[in-house]
Structure 1
Amino acid sequence: MIRKAFLTNSIGTLCSRVFGLVRDLCMASFLGAGILSDIFFVAFKFPNLCRRIFAEGAFVQSFLPNFIQARKKGAFSVLVFGIFFSIILFLSLFVWQFSGLVTKALANGFSQENIELAKPIVAINFWYLELIFVATFLSSLLQYKNCFWVSAYNTALLNVCMIIALFFVRDIEDMRAVYILSYGVLCGGVAQIALHFYPLFRLGYCRLFGVGVVEIWRALSQRGGTKTPRFRQILKDLRAFFSRFLPAVLGSSTAQIASFLDTVIASYLSAGAISYLYYANRIFQLPLALFAIAISTALFPTIAKAVKNTQHTQALALMKNAFWFLLLVLWVCVIGGVMLRDEITWLLFERNKFVREDTLAVGMAFGMYMLGLLPYGLARIFSLWLYAHNLQGKAAKISALSLLCGVGFSLMLMHPLGASGLALASSLGGVLYFALTLRIFGLKNFIPMLKNAKGWILLAIITGLEILILYIFKLYEHYLGILT
C-alpha cells in the first residue's frame, strides 16, 4: 500500500511539475524577469504559500489524526470546513477592500507606483486561497480512504490553466498580461475542486456530509443545545484539531515560509531579484516535492494509524526505509544541482526576454537553494513522528527558531550576495531546522537508522561516480563553449 501510494504521489507530482515547468518556461519567455513578473510573483506568492501549507503540510497533518480519532466524523468534518471557509472568505473580502495595505506588506520595497499597479493583482490572486482550501479539504478526506491520485494530480490543472492564459498574453507587454494570468489562476482553482467530485461520490462522502449536518442539527435541537454531551464531544474534537493546527502551520511549512520571507526581503533589492528567487526556487522544489513530499504524504496516514495503535516498531521501520531512500536520491540531486546549476537554468529558461545575465543570477540562487535540499527533505520524514504524536507545539517552536535565524542570515547576506545570499540563508535555516527536528525525534531512535553498511557503501559509490561523470561533462561542455 505504501509503495503504491508513493508511486501515485510521485507520478502525479512529476506530472504536475512537468506542467509547472512548462508554465515557468512560458512565463520566463513571455514575461522575462522584470517588473511585470515581479508584480505577479508578489501577488501569487501568498496564496501559493498557503496552497503548499494546506496541501503539503499543516492542514493534512493536523486534520487526519483528529479525523481518525473523532467519534462524530461527519459533524467534525462539516464544522472544520464551515469554519475555515468562512474565515478565508472574510480574509479575501478584507484583501479586496484594503489591497493597498496588503500589497505594501507583501512588497514593502516596491515604489508607490509599483504598489498601485500591483494592488488589483494581489486582490484577484487572493481569491485562489478559498478555492485551494476547498480542494485540499476534499483531498484530505480522500487520503483517509487511501485515495491519493486526486491530490497528486490536481495541481496539474492549475498549471494547465496558467499555461493557456500565458499563450493569450505572449504578444502583450503591459499590465493586461498580468491580469489575464491572474484570472487563469482562478480558473485553475475551480478545475482543481471539480476533479474531486467523482471520487468523493464513489467513496460515499456525500453521505458523510449529510450525516454530519444531521448530527449537528440533532445535537443543537436537543434540550441544552451546545451543553449536551453529544455536542460537547464534537466541540472537544474541534478544539483538539485547532490546538494542533495553528502550531502545525509554522512547524510543517518552514521551507515555504522561508521562501515567502525571501520574496519580501528581495523587494528591497534591484528589479528582477524576486523573479530570480522564484525561478530558482521552482527548480529546487521539483526534487523536494517529487521525493520528500510525495513519500511523506504517502507515509503519514499509515504512521498516524500505527502510532494510535501503539505499533511504534512498525512506524520506525517505515521511517528508516524512507530515510535511506531520501538520503540516496536527494544527495544525488544536490550534487547534480550544484555542479550543473548554470546549465540547468540555461536549458530551462534562457530564451526571448530571459537573457544570459538572468541565467547566471538564477543559477547562483538555485545552487544556494540546493544546499538546503537534503536537510529540508529529511526533516519531512522525522516531522511525521512529531505530528503523529500530536507534538505540533514543539514542531512550531523548532520552525520559529529556524525561521528567525534564517531571517538573520538573510539580512546579513542580502547586500554582499544579493538574491543568492537570500537563497543561502534559507538553506542555512534548513540545516538548523533539520538538526532541531532530529533532536526532538531522539538520537535513540535515529542512531539505529544509521546502521546500514550496504547503504553507506552504495552512497559512497554513487557519489564518486556522479562527481566523475559530471566533471567529464563539464570539461566537454567547456570545450564546446556552451555557456561562454
Structure 2
Amino acid sequence: MLKKAFFTNSSGIMFSRIFGFLRDLYMAHILGAGLYSDIFFVAFKFPNLFRRVFGEGAFTQSFLPGFISGSKKGIFGVSVFVIFVLILLGLSLLVWLFSGIITKLLAFGFDENTIILAEPIVVINFWYLELVFIVTFLSTLLQYKNSFWVGAYNTALLNICMIGSLYLARDSDLIEVVYMLSYGVLLGGVAQILIHFYPLYRLGFFKLFEVGIKQIWKVFFSSSPNAKHLLLCAKNDLKGFFKQFFPAILGSSTAQIASFIDTMLASFLVSGSISYLYYANRIFQLPLAIFAIAVSTALFPTIAKAIKNSKEQKALDLMKKSFWFLFIMLWICTIGGLMLKNEIIWLLFEGGEFSRKDTLISANVFGMYMIGLLPFGVARIFSLWLYSHKMQGKAAKISAISLSFGVVCSLILMRYFGAIGLALAGSLSGAMLFILSIKAFGIKRFWDIMAYPKGWLGLILIGIIEVGVLSVFLHFFHIN
C-alpha cells in the first residue's frame, strides 16, 4: 500500500510539475524577468504559499490525526470546513478593502507607481486562498481512505488553466497578460475542486457530509441529550484540532515561509531579482515534491495509525526504509542540480525576453537552493514522528528557530551577494531545521536508522558514477 501510494503521489506530482514548468517556460517567454513578472509573482506568492502550507503540511498533519481518532467524524469534518471557509472569506474581503496596505506589506521595495499597478492583481490572486483550502480539505479526506491520485494530480489543472490564459493573452499588453494570468489562477482553483467530486461520492463522503450537517442542525435546534453529547464531542475534537493546527502552520512550512520572506527582501534588490528567485525555486521544488513530499504524504497516514495503535516499532521500520530511499534520491538530485545548474536553466527558460544573463544569475541562485535539498527533504521524515505524536508545538518551535536563523542569514548575505545570498540563506535554514528535527526525534533512534552499511556503500558508488558521467557530458556540452 505504501509503495502504491508513493508512486501515485510522485507520478501525479511529476505530471503536475511538468505542466508547471511548461507554464513557467511560457511565462518567461512572454513576461521575461522584469517589472510585470515581479508584480505577478508578488501577487501569487501569498496564495501559493498558502497552498503549499495547507496542501503539503499544516492542515493535513493536524486534521488527519484528529479525524482518525474522532468519534463523530461527520460533525467534526463539516464544522472545520465551515469555520475555515468563513474565516478565509472574511480575510479575502479585508484584502479587497485594504489592497494598498496589503500590497505594500507584500513588496516593501516597490515604488508607488508599481504598488498601484500591483494592487488589483493582488486582490484577484488572493481569492484563490478560499479555493485552495476547499481543495486541501477534500484531498485530506481522500487520504484517510488511502486515495491519493486526486490530491497528486489536481494541481495540473491549475497549471493548464494558467497556460490557457497565457495563450489567450499572448498578443496583449504585458499588464493585460498579468490580469489574464490571475483570472486563470481562479479558474484553475474551481477546476481543482470539481475533480474531487467523483471519488468523494464513490467513497461515501457525501453521505458523511449529510450526516455532519444533520448533526450540526441537531446541536443548534434540539435540546435532546443526544444533541448535548454531539456538542460536547464537537467541542473537544475542534479544541484538539486547533491546538495542533496553529503550531503546525509554522512547523510544516519553513521552506515556504523562508521563500516568501526572500521575495519581500528581493523587492529591495535590482529589478528581476524576484523573478530569479521564483524560477530557481520552482526547479528546486521539483525533486523536493516528487520525492520528499510524495514520500511523507504516503507515509503519514500509516505512521499516524500505527502510533495510535501503539505499534511504534512498525512506524520506525517504515521510517527507516523511507529515509534511505529519500536520502539516495535527493543525493542524486543534489549532485545533478549543482553540476548542471547552467544547463538546466538554459534548457527550461532561456529565450524570448529571458536572456543569457538571466540564465546565469538564475542558475547560481538555483545552485544555492540545491545545497539545502537534502536537509529540507529528509527533515520531513523526522517531522512526521512529531506530528503523529501530536507534538506540533515542538515542531513549531524547531521551525521558528531555523526560520529566524535563515532570516538573519538573508539580511547579512543579501548585502553582498543579492538574490544568490538569499537562496544560500534558505539552505542554511534547512540545515538548521534538519539538525533540530533529529534532536527532537532522538539521537539514538537516528543512529539506528543511519546504521545501514549497504545504504552508505550505495550512496558512495552512485555519487562517484554520477559525477563521472556528468563530467564527461559537461566536457562536450556546457553553458557559460
TM-score (norm 1): 0.98
- Give the 3-state SS of the residue equivalent to 2:147 in structure 1: coil
- Give the 3-state SS of the residue equivalent to 2:154 in structure 1: helix
Alpha-carbon separation, structure 1, partners of 2:341 and 2:424: 14
Report if aligned partners of 2:402, 2:432 keep a CA contact under 8 Å in 1.
Answer: yes
Residue of structure 2 in register with 1:340 after alignment: 340
Residue of structure 1 in register with 2:479 after alignment: 483
How far does residue 227 in structure 1 lie from its aligned partner after superposition? 9.1
Residue of structure 2 in register with 1:432 after alignment: 432
Report if aligned partners of 1:6, 1:294 keep a CA contact under 8 Å in 2.
Answer: yes
For 1:66, the aligned partner's letter is G
Alpha-carbon separation, structure 1, partners of 2:129 and 2:277: 22
Alpha-carbon separation, structure 2, partners of 1:416 and 1:222: 66
How far does residue 137 in structure 1 lie from its aligned partner after superposition? 0.4
Alpha-carbon separation, structure 2, partners of 1:54 and 1:174: 31
Report if aligned partners of 1:334, 1:374 keep a CA contact under 8 Å in 2.
Answer: yes
How far does residue 174 in structure 1 lie from its aligned partner after superposition? 2.7
Alpha-carbon separation, structure 1, partners of 2:431 and 2:225: 50
Count residues with an aligned counterpart.
Answer: 480
Alpha-carbon separation, structure 1, partners of 2:454 and 2:312: 25
Residue of structure 2 in register with 1:263 after alignment: 263
Residue of structure 1 in register with 2:252 after alignment: 252
User: Which structure 2 residues correspond to residues 434-473 of structure 1 after superposition, within 5 A?
Assistant: 434-473=434-473
Report if aligned partners of 1:225, 1:231 keep a CA contact under 8 Å in 2.
Answer: no
How far does residue 171 in structure 1 lie from its aligned partner after superposition? 2.1
Residue of structure 1 in register with 2:201 after alignment: 201
Q: Does 1:231 align with 2:231?
A: yes
How far does residue 225 in structure 1 lie from its aligned partner after superposition? 9.0
CA deviations on 1:147-204 (whole Å, 9 max, x unpaired) are: 1000000000000000111112222233111000000000000000000011111111
Residue of structure 1 in register with 2:321 after alignment: 321
Q: Does 1:354 align with 2:350?
A: no
Residue of structure 2 in register with 1:304 after alignment: 304
For 1:123, the aligned partner's letter is V
Report if aligned partners of 2:219, 2:227 keep a CA contact under 8 Å in 1.
Answer: no
Report if aligned partners of 1:220, 1:226 keep a CA contact under 8 Å in 2.
Answer: no
How far does residue 224 in structure 1 lie from its aligned partner after superposition? 8.0
User: Which structure 2 residues correspond to residues 119-130 of structure 1 after superposition, within 5 A?
Assistant: 119-130=119-130
How far does residue 350 in structure 1 lie from its aligned partner after superposition? 0.4
Q: Does 1:32 align with 2:28?
A: no
CA deviations on 1:406-440 (whole Å, 9 max, x unpaired) are: 00000000021110100000000000001001100
For 1:46, the aligned partner's letter is F
Report if aligned partners of 1:125, 1:185 keep a CA contact under 8 Å in 2.
Answer: yes
Alpha-carbon separation, structure 2, partners of 1:111 and 1:255: 28
Q: Does 1:221 align with 2:221?
A: yes
Q: Does 1:371 align with 2:367?
A: no
How far does residue 387 in structure 1 lie from its aligned partner after superposition? 0.2
Which segment drifts farther, 393-402 or 210-219?
Answer: 210-219
Alpha-carbon separation, structure 2, partners of 1:225 and 1:352: 69
Report if aligned partners of 1:219, 1:225 keep a CA contact under 8 Å in 2.
Answer: no
- Runs (4 or more) in structure 1 with deviation over 6 Å come to 224-227
Alpha-carbon separation, structure 1, partners of 2:331 and 2:468: 15
Residue of structure 2 in register with 1:398 after alignment: 398
How far does residue 206 in structure 1 lie from its aligned partner after superposition? 0.8
CA deviations on 1:95-135 (whole Å, 9 max, x unpaired) are: 01111000000001000110000000000000001001011
Report if aligned partners of 1:52, 1:256 keep a CA contact under 8 Å in 2.
Answer: yes
CA deviations on 1:246-295 (whole Å, 9 max, x unpaired) are: 10000011111111111010000010000000000000000000000001
CA deviations on 1:304-323 (whole Å, 9 max, x unpaired) are: 00000010000000000010
How far does residue 339 in structure 1 lie from its aligned partner after superposition? 1.0
Residue identity over aligned pairs, in percent, reads 60
For 2:479, the aligned partner's letter is L
Alpha-carbon separation, structure 1, partners of 2:48 and 2:279: 14
- Give the 3-state SS of the residue equivalent to 1:228 in structure 2: helix
Alpha-carbon separation, structure 2, partners of 1:302 and 1:172: 50
CA deviations on 1:12-42 (whole Å, 9 max, x unpaired) are: 0000000001000001001000000000000
CA deviations on 1:62-117 (whole Å, 9 max, x unpaired) are: 00000011111000001000000000000000001111000000001000110000
Residue of structure 2 in register with 1:243 after alignment: 243
Report if aligned partners of 2:218, 2:227 keep a CA contact under 8 Å in 1.
Answer: no
Report if aligned partners of 2:31, 2:174 keep a CA contact under 8 Å in 1.
Answer: no
User: Please, which runs of 5 or more residues in structure 2 have no aligned partner?
Assistant: none
- Give the 3-state SS of the residue equivalent to 2:146 in structure 1: coil
How far does residue 223 in structure 1 lie from its aligned partner after superposition? 2.9
User: Please, which runs of 5 or more residues in structure 1 have no aligned partner?
Assistant: none
For 1:483, the aligned partner's letter is I
How far does residue 450 in structure 1 lie from its aligned partner after superposition? 1.0
- Give the 3-state SS of the residue equivalent to 2:459 in structure 1: helix
Alpha-carbon separation, structure 1, partners of 2:117 and 2:7: 43
Residue of structure 2 in register with 1:116 after alignment: 116
- Give the 3-state SS of the residue equivalent to 1:223 in structure 2: coil
Residue of structure 2 in register with 1:15 after alignment: 15
- Give the 3-state SS of the residue equivalent to 1:346 in structure 2: helix
Q: Does 1:281 align with 2:281?
A: yes
TM-score (norm 2): 0.99
Alpha-carbon separation, structure 1, partners of 2:43 and 2:166: 16
Residue of structure 2 in register with 1:46 after alignment: 46
Alpha-carbon separation, structure 2, partners of 1:175 and 1:457: 54
Alpha-carbon separation, structure 2, partners of 1:19 and 1:483: 25
User: Which structure 2 residues correspond to residues 69-80 of structure 1 after superposition, within 5 A?
Assistant: 69-80=69-80
Report if aligned partners of 1:30, 1:169 keep a CA contact under 8 Å in 2.
Answer: no
